[in-house]
Chain A
Amino acid sequence: MGRYIARRLLLAIPTVLGVSVLVFLVLRAFVPADAVDILMSQVLREDPQIAEQIRRGYGLSASLPEQYLAWITQVVTGDLGRSYYTGRSVAGELAVRMPVTVELGVMALLWAWVLGVPIGVIVALRQDSPLDYLFRAPSILFLAIPNLWLALLVLTFGARWFHWAPPIQYRTVFENPRQHFELMVPAALVLGATLSAQVMRFTRAAMLEVLRQDYIRTARAKGLRGRLVITRHALRNVAVPLVTVLGGEVATVLGGTVIIETIFGIPGVGRYYVDSFNVRDYPVAQGVNLVLACAVVLINVVVDVSYGLIDPRIRYS
């Protein structure tokens, strides 16, 4: 197992490097309008001299390979650069924002799984019953409703019916725990709504598949109680594909929090990235992309390793 993990981590390095090249090229070569174009487009005069001066200052006059080399050399020393606009260190900003996004994501996933898995199991056991239809309908609804609209509904009707709105300002859990959770919990619930629907439907489908297996029939035939059949045999076999789904959802949540962060005013990575992309703040956009790519690669390693822990039949040789 140890060798497997080491091998996977080593293989992750070229993956991350490949992502870094892709991100770099997409931002600097393929996306229309570079950082200077965006800045100069706000100016009311065409001034090639100023544009060239700014371009040199940002290091954008060099060739693309030179620019990439300069950037990646900086990155391997732990320096993700500084924002063109604010001058703040990207690593410093990420150190503050990433935990916020991670917390939001973890809360959303927890809520999705705490709700989705049990309901998925129950409706699988009660397939085609009224209970099954009762839960499947809202799950389709939550899958169909965009997060954006759901968030706006929560805000609008929260104020109208309950005289409630989330706190106007984000506070850390250490500054003001109550205000912190009053903001984060509704945001996580909204973000987790679609995820819970996905988890529920996937769990149901996987459970139905497993419940049809011979070993389940055998277990029942042996006289095992229903609960034991489900928890000891069925769920264990459902866990492997569920973990795969979890890995994908973590990646989705990490990259998909921007709308929720914007609406609820949460200073996470999502907003930071989108704002930087809009103005082609390359150090920020590249740095965030790289960090998220590393996180996704790491999560995939963890998911792969967890297979062996869940299912002893899976061996890493």
Chain B
Amino acid sequence: MPGSNSWYTSRTVMRRRRLFRALAAATGLTALGLACSNPERAGSTSGRPQGTTAAATGTQTPKRGGRWQDYMTQDPASLDPYKVVAFSAQQYVGAFVYSRLYKYNNGPGVNKSLYKPVPDLAVSHEITDDGLTYIIKIRPDARFHDIPPVNGRVLDAEDVVASYKRFVGLPAPQSATFKVAVDSAEVVDRQTVRFRLKAPYAPFLDMLANPGFLWIMPREADNGFDPTQRPIGTGPWVLDKHTPSVGIAYQRHPNYFLKDLPYMDGVDMYVISEYAQRLNQFKLGRLYTIIPQAQDFQDVVKASQGGMIVDIGIPLAWGGIGFGHLDPDSPTMRDERVRKAVSLALDRDGLLQAISNDAIWKGLGQTIEKKLNNFIPAALGQWWVDPRGSEMGSSAQWFKFDVGEAKRLLAAAGFPNGLSLEYHRTVQIYGTDYDSAAEALVPMLQNAGFRLDVKVDDYRSVWQPTSWAGKVRGLVYGLGAAFTDPDEVFNYLFGPDSSRNHMRVRDPQLLSLMEKQRQQLDVQERRKTVIEIQRYAADKMYFVPVESRTYSQKEVAHSFVQGYEHWRVPSGSYGGATESLMHLWLNR
């Protein structure tokens, strides 16, 4: 137990403010007990109250009918996912109405943390030997929703190419990443599309599966109908009614290309931003699932009347401390010893213990999986390595909790009496875990000799455009976006054009390694390079990975919900309406 002057004592005096959580995106089911050394092993769900077993559920015949009742934490920013960079447009609209060429693998026995792309509209693909061309066959039976002017016709390659051109042609900010990799898309024949890349790109199929990018729309989009008013796609759900600030109603697509799916007749999504409201509505059976806070868990399980407790794994969200580049001569910009001192000052285990409510969950008989973030988030199964594990080699030392060493490094850098720095954070947008962690980091850093001038920045007007873009002095603690491929993470943190490259680093060796892994189509070879990048990044510490919700979460489903434990998508994945919801059914 640390001494009385340590951050821990300060931490125990501090009380976490229990406000309501802003829940992130769709959550899912991941395997319990997943080990990086065995990425293919699928896990199991945890805890079944009142005798409800997975085996019994899995052998029942799905029933048709009923409507899924779910919530949205906010209104979709737009009904057109190309018009905004917002998870709400992807998750609450895109994934319902549209299909992608690929989607993430899901289902019984699947290791969901691998985020393996599997065909959705695509049937198969070929890659030329140089890795520059992808020839993708489209399925011949995908029909659009029966809405004018498309009127339920069959999707073909022209629609795919038209969607690509619309995506890269609109000033859609998210298409910038796509444009960097893809040179062109063209129709080969009615059922075949050819993508030409600018360079071999290992995660190209992941990009096609990523709900943040290429939704396939009819070629009439913008020329026959307005997707911002009436989206039309081939997805399993047809948008029936959108009442802003109230909710969205979807109907089942009767001509969906997967036979007999979806099982349910429709989905009703309600805008409920307050956790207390969601909790109450779940207890009354009006919402079918919820991720409860620890103190509400028992009540929720009781209200589910024999329902399912599902471990949805570690969320895709991750966090860390960046270093602002506003002053190029600042110690954090000039000297990696100062940056390493920041990392060494952090008691990551203690932080994770505190924000995960581990003791409370244990008292409830539930086990929580906890991991430490590396530069690759803990949720990305096969790419993540334990920052203090053997694969990190000598670089693991920079993730230890060693206040003495932190002070020694600061002194060696010319600051024997400590260093004054700004510390930027935001508030009430990322959830209580982030707020708690942001508070806890302050005494940790202060104990190591950093004198912090704490700045709490408004999320939209200051944090997003300025602080989290590194346009500050000192430290900035925030959460990263939900990525499913390491190349996205590296580009985000270290890409020369990335707005989240806080230090505006242009490290030739790092960029060379990033380029190398990007082009390595062999997964095992690519993994070695990804690990090498993480070791290099740790030695430079251009960014300090920190924990904030790197623990598995529990979701509870009512007893009449069937299939949830098999089909729940991982927390933070936005494609749930296609990858999960259409496989669920209601036993009532």
Chain A residues close to B by CB (< 8 Å): 31-33, 37-47, 50, 53-54, 57, 85-88, 93, 97, 152, 155-156, 158-159, 163-166, 168-170, 261-268, 271-272, 275, 278-280
- CB neighbours of A268 from chain B (8 A): 245
Shortest B379–chain A CB gap in Å is 18
Chain A residue nearest to B483 in the complex (CB): A44
Contact A86 to B228, CB < 8 A, known contacts A33-B462, A169-B246: yes
Q: Does B69 contact A (CB under 8 A)?
A: yes
Shortest A211–chain B CB gap in Å is 44
**Is A263's CB under 8 angstroms from B229's CB?**
no
Chain A residue nearest to B75 in the complex (CB): A275
In angstroms, Cα B286 to Cα A45, docked, is 41
User: Which of the segments B8-16, B77-85, B419-427, B545-553 contacts the partner chain?
Assistant: B77-85
- CB neighbours of B226 from chain A (8 A): 87
Chain B residue nearest to A153 in the complex (CB): B276
**Is A44's CB under 8 angstroms from B492's CB?**
yes
- CB neighbours of B240 from chain A (8 A): none
**Is B464's CB under 8 angstroms from A168's CB?**
no
**Is B78's CB under 8 angstroms from A38's CB?**
no
Q: Does B473 contact A (CB under 8 A)?
A: no
**Is B284's CB under 8 angstroms from A165's CB?**
yes
B47-76 contacts to A, CB under 8 A, are 69, 74-75
Chain B residues close to A by CB (< 8 Å): 69, 74-75, 77-79, 83-86, 171, 173-174, 176-177, 226, 228-229, 243-247, 268, 270-274, 276-277, 279-281, 283-284, 286-287, 458, 460-462, 464-466, 468-469, 481, 491-492, 495, 497-500
In angstroms, Cα B270 to Cα A45, docked, is 33
Q: Could you show 11 A-B contacts with beta carbons less than 8 Å apart?
A: A44-B481, A45-B176, A50-B173, A50-B176, A85-B83, A168-B281, A168-B286, A168-B287, A262-B274, A265-B246, A275-B74
**Is B284's CB under 8 angstroms from A159's CB?**
yes
The winner among A40, A42, A53 for most chain B CB atoms within 10 A is A42
**Is A39's CB under 8 angstroms from B271's CB?**
no
Shortest B245–chain A CB gap in Å is 4
**Is A43's CB under 8 angstroms from B85's CB?**
yes
The winner among B74, B171, B247, B500 for most chain A CB atoms within 10 A is B171
Chain B residue nearest to A53 in the complex (CB): B171
**Is A279's CB under 8 angstroms from B77's CB?**
yes
Known pairs A262-B273, A279-B460 / 14 extra A-B pairs, C-beta < 8 Å: A33-B465, A39-B84, A41-B465, A41-B499, A42-B86, A47-B176, A85-B83, A97-B245, A152-B276, A155-B276, A155-B277, A165-B281, A169-B268, A170-B246
Shortest A156–chain B CB gap in Å is 6
The winner among A165, A262, A275 for most chain B CB atoms within 10 A is A165
- CB neighbours of A275 from chain B (8 A): 74-75, 245
- CB neighbours of B78 from chain A (8 A): 85-87
Residue among A86, A163, A278 making CB contact with B284, cutoff 8 Å: A163
Shortest A187–chain B CB gap in Å is 12
Shortest B240–chain A CB gap in Å is 14
Interface of B is mostly: loop
In angstroms, Cα B84 to Cα A43, docked, is 10
Contact A265 to B177, CB < 8 A, known contacts A86-B244, A93-B244: no
Contact A272 to B464, CB < 8 A, known contacts A57-B171, A158-B280: no
Contact A87 to B173, CB < 8 A, known contacts A41-B465, A155-B276, A263-B274: no
**Is B461's CB under 8 angstroms from A165's CB?**
no
**Is B274's CB under 8 angstroms from A38's CB?**
no
Contact A165 to B79, CB < 8 A, known contacts A32-B462, A33-B465: no
In angstroms, Cα B459 to Cα A278, docked, is 9
Chain A residue nearest to B175 in the complex (CB): A50
Shortest A32–chain B CB gap in Å is 4
**Is B245's CB under 8 angstroms from A267's CB?**
yes
- CB neighbours of B499 from chain A (8 A): 40-41, 43-46
- CB neighbours of A50 from chain B (8 A): 171, 173, 176
**Is A85's CB under 8 angstroms from B465's CB?**
no
- CB neighbours of A170 from chain B (8 A): 243, 246
**Is B173's CB under 8 angstroms from A40's CB?**
yes
- CB neighbours of A163 from chain B (8 A): 284
Chain B residue nearest to A82 in the complex (CB): B228
Contact A168 to B77, CB < 8 A, known contacts A43-B173, A279-B460: no
Shortest B276–chain A CB gap in Å is 5
- CB neighbours of A46 from chain B (8 A): 469, 497-499
Chain B residue nearest to A156 in the complex (CB): B276
- CB neighbours of B69 from chain A (8 A): 168
- CB neighbours of B272 from chain A (8 A): 168, 265
Chain B residue nearest to A154 in the complex (CB): B276
- CB neighbours of A159 from chain B (8 A): 279-280, 283-284
The winner among B69, B85, B244, B272 for most chain A CB atoms within 10 A is B244
Chain B residue nearest to A56 in the complex (CB): B171
Chain A residue nearest to B499 in the complex (CB): A46
Chain A residue nearest to B174 in the complex (CB): A43
- CB neighbours of B500 from chain A (8 A): 44
The winner among B246, B247, B277, B466 for most chain A CB atoms within 10 A is B277
In angstroms, Cα B79 to Cα A88, docked, is 11
- CB neighbours of A169 from chain B (8 A): 246-247, 268, 270
- CB neighbours of B243 from chain A (8 A): 170, 267
Residue among B79, B270, B464, B495 making CB contact with A41, cutoff 8 Å: B464
In angstroms, Cα B174 to Cα A40, docked, is 9
Shortest A74–chain B CB gap in Å is 20
Contact A42 to B171, CB < 8 A, known contacts A85-B78, A152-B276: no
**Is B244's CB under 8 angstroms from A272's CB?**
yes
Shortest B429–chain A CB gap in Å is 10
In angstroms, Cα B228 to Cα A207, docked, is 57
Shortest A305–chain B CB gap in Å is 35
- CB neighbours of A97 from chain B (8 A): 245
**Is A271's CB under 8 angstroms from B491's CB?**
no
Chain B residue nearest to A272 in the complex (CB): B245
**Is B495's CB under 8 angstroms from A45's CB?**
yes
